[in-house]
Amino acid sequence: MEILQVALQVVLGITSLLLTLLILLHRGRGGGLSDMFGGGVTSNLGASGVAERNLNRITVILAVIWITSIVVLGLITKFNGA
């Protein structure tokens, strides 16, 4: 059980970093902090609709993996402590 816990912690760490990077890659919807850091400048990097949809899909899949690993780690912790 300890190996599973360590593996899930590694998955949690990797998905946390990847989620942070992917969220920062999303195109800003105008105003706020995205314009402060150069989000108002037009860029061809996120111009493609297909690229944006794929980025959304990957972000959602990583978020589901992230949430699942948190729930499973919580259950392991709860039942190991008893």
Q: Which two tokens stand for residue 13?
A: 């760490």
Buried b (16+ CB within 10 A) or exposed e, 20-53: eebeeeeeeeeeeeeeeeebeeeeeeeeeeeeee
pTM, two decimal places: 0.74
pLDDT, one tens digit per residue, over 42-82 is 555 545 688 888 999 999 999 999 999 999 999 999 998 75
Weakest mean pLDDT among 27-31, 35-39, 77-81? 35-39
